A and B are shown apart, each in its own frame.
Chain A
Amino acid sequence: MRIELTVNGKKHALEVEERTTLLDCLRDHLGLKGTHAGCEHGVCGACTVLCDGAAVRSCLMFAPQAEGFAVTTIEGVTPGPGELSPIQDAFCETHGMQCGYCTPAMILTAHALLADNPEPTREEIVEAISGNICRCTGYAQIVEAIALAAERMRGANRAVER
């Protein structure tokens, strides 16, 4: 069927099979390979994208269901070519990754969390990423990365206190 998707601010008219998941549509039809395919049945969280700002699992949505949403993938969070978002920066600095498979989803989940809650507690960070499986890091540096990003993003909008 013919569908129209808005991904990273750009509209795309696509011809897809009804059963195509949003995940496969992003990867195979739009070439956005930063959205990772893990379990493909909603357990691992590797395919997380933002739909109207909310973190959702793109393997649990058929592409036709995504019409009308503003979909954001990892490719859409950078401020410009060659640049990184504050959350991506923080993941680099704290080494919040090893193999990198879960990383785009972790970063997008963190984006959704911090947009909603700029000052999350450690527990709230852990809760937010509890649906994203990482088999390398043990999560500690991921939590650290999100806390660091939160701190910086809060600071960015405030006058420096002296």
Chain B
Amino acid sequence: MKAAPFAYSRAADVEEACALLAADDSARVIAGGQTLVPMMAMRLMRPTRLVDIARIASLSYVREDDDGVAIGACTRQCTVERDPLVAKRVPLLKRAVPFIGHATTRARGTVGGSLAHADPAAELPLIAVTLDATMSYRAGQAEGELAARDFFTGLMTNGLPDGACLTSGRFPVWQGERIGTGFHEVNARRSDFAFVTAAAQVALDGDGKCHRIAIGLGAATDTPLRLEAAEQALTGGTLDDAKVRDAVRAALADVEMLSDLHASADYRRRAAATLARRAIADARAQSLGNAHAH
């Protein structure tokens, strides 16, 4: 299992990376390579040139601004896993990162790489969609932004313009202390590709009612899916089990689920409903716990 031949360039900065990408339609960006290298080994991809951006120091950071945490595209997943700012300000991301591959792949894999790869079963795209993250990119001299819902355009497909280099993902911070999160996935073996993934973030008000909720599903459809109908139905209520079950079930009713050898559409629908309920229940419980702690 060996990759086809290619040329290799280590870009000194984003500008050089963009110039290299612009000069060759079949060039690909490599950062951690934890998805790209196996795909090349299996010859599912045969880029003519790899543009290595992993050493561009300005693309590796975790930074807080007014109401979000921006993470540089080349920030490694293991860094995010241990970052105190992420833990404090984007708790759902903190909760999901340990589910990405294994510690050995998180040691090399980057945030930007996983986002750009846009695998519907991957954790980072799901969190990006659930929290309405914004992706920034550079294409030649131009800089641009894409909201998560416009960034993930299909199975393993992103909305970046040709020759663009993803530079960061920015995750909005929910203000307030009564925030809880939940994250569940089902797979054949620990850390394998998920059959279904569910993420939820909840903010409760002083009466324990749902002030704000975001619910996302991964590996259910071609791109990570927000259960907006359920979010609307549950906002303002108490998130008791029966209501959550009904809201999730209704939101999933018309969704055409993915189906493959490992998990049929019917299985995915059932598992999605259960995992979403568990994620919401965990988020609610954590939010109530946080309220008591303060």
Name A's B-contacting residues (CB within 8 A): 1, 17-19, 21, 24, 39-43, 45, 48, 51, 54-57, 59-62, 64-65, 68, 109, 112, 127-128, 130-131
Contacts and interface: CB of A to CB of B under 8 A. Distances in A.
> What 10 pairs across the A-B complex have the smallest Cβ distances?
A131-B102, A40-B1, A41-B38, A18-B8, A54-B107, A19-B3, A60-B37, A41-B41, A42-B38, A55-B104
Contact of B190 (A24, A43, A57, A130): A130
Contacts of B38: 41-43, 60
A19 to B, nearest CB: 4
Contacts of A41: 1, 37-38, 41-42
Contacts of A61: 33, 37, 108
Contacts of B8: 1, 18, 62, 64
B217 to A, nearest CB: 24
B7 interface: yes
Contacts of B232: none
Interface residue tally on B, bucketed by range = 20 to 34
B37 A42 contact: yes
A42 B1 contact: no
B129 interface: no
Contact of B33 (A24, A43, A65, A112): A65
A60 B105 contact: yes
Contacts of A18: 5-8, 50
11 contacts: A18-B8, A21-B37, A41-B37, A42-B105, A55-B107, A56-B107, A56-B108, A60-B34, A60-B108, A65-B54, A131-B101
